Amino acid sequence: DSGVTQTPKHLITATGQRVTLRCSPRSGDLSVYWYQQSLDQGLQFLIQYYNGEERAKGNILERFSAQQFPDLHSELNLSSLELGDSALYFCASSVATGPSTDTQYFGPGTRLTVL
Amino acid sequence: AQKITQTQPGMFVQEKEAVTLDCTYDTSDPSYGLFWYKQPSSGEMIFLIYQGSYDQQNATEGRYSLNFQKARKSANLVISASQLGDSAMYFCAMRGGTYSGGGADGLTFGKGTHLIIQP
């Protein structure tokens, strides 16, 4: 158990809908990262938050957004869903106090199925 | 841009044998970190080992070691005495850029190697 929690574990929805994925980082971790894993794109970094502020952006679509709250939990919002958004979405967290200690620990993931 | 290449889509290995999973990387950053993660069929991503670009010695964590050859830009994972529970997908990943505090950019992953340990 990495200490990172994600809810829900599974999510099934229809095209055009909006969903919210939730992540709680490990105790003491200030940085949260979101990744998407799909068969055709592999594992892709989406976005990173550090202590409530957006820190880095990867291949995140404009239909997707995220935020990190004062208690450091994070939410990833996916809107106008398409079939191609079906994937395993991971949240990861890190301490972010120095490069040699900045290992990212992953949550169990949320499997999103868009029908 | 950073790139990770894992050239072995799949591998079959006999139990108790040593395994080497290949990883080559490309980056123009002078400072970077290399990671290996294991993804069992259950889906979670498990951190195995880390190697910093300025580390003088190869990283080791229990049965895992990283054969880091900086000039060749390779960071191969070696699993000694493989076990049936080692069957999983293995991903090599990189974090690059100049660390400026407050976390670092996301990881760039390779496509992975599917390792199957046979009894």
Tens-digit pLDDT profile for chain B (119 aa)?
789 999 999 999 999 999 999 999 998 888 888 999 999 999 999 999 999 888 889 999 999 999 999 999 999 999 999 999 999 999 999 986 554 444 457 899 999 999 999 99
Closest in B47, B103, B107 to A96, CB measured:
B103
Q: How far apart are CA B103 and CA B88, in angstroms?
A: 29
**Smallest Cα–Cα separation from B111: which of B90, B94, B96, B97?**
B90
Task: For residue range A7-42, list pLDDT tens digits in order.
Answer: 999 999 999 999 999 999 999 999 999 999 999 999
Kindly report, residue by residue over A46-68, the tens digit of the pLDDT.
999 989 999 888 889 999 999 99
Residues B22-40, buried b or exposed e (16+ Cβ, 10 A)?
Answer: bbbbebeeeebbbbbbbbe
| A residues 59..78 contacting B (CB < 8 A) | none
pLDDT at B95: 86
Structure confidence at residue B101 (pLDDT): 47
Contacts of B38 in chain A (CB under 8 A): none
Which phi and psi angles does A88 have, rounded to 5°? -100, 120
Contact B45 A42 (CB under 8 A): no
Minimum CA–CA partner of A106 in chain B: B45
Are A104 and B108 in contact (CB < 8 Å)?
A: no
Answer whether residue A94 shows pLDDT above 60.
yes
At residue A100, the 3 state secondary structure works out as helix
For A107, residues 6+ apart whose C-beta sits below 8 A from its C-beta are A2, A4, A5, A6, A23, A90, A91, A92, A93, B44
Q: Bridge-partner residues for B94, per DSSP? A: B34, B108
Q: Which of A52, A26, A17, A23 is nearest to A110 (CA)?
A: A23
Helix (H, G, I), strand (E, B) or coil at A95: coil
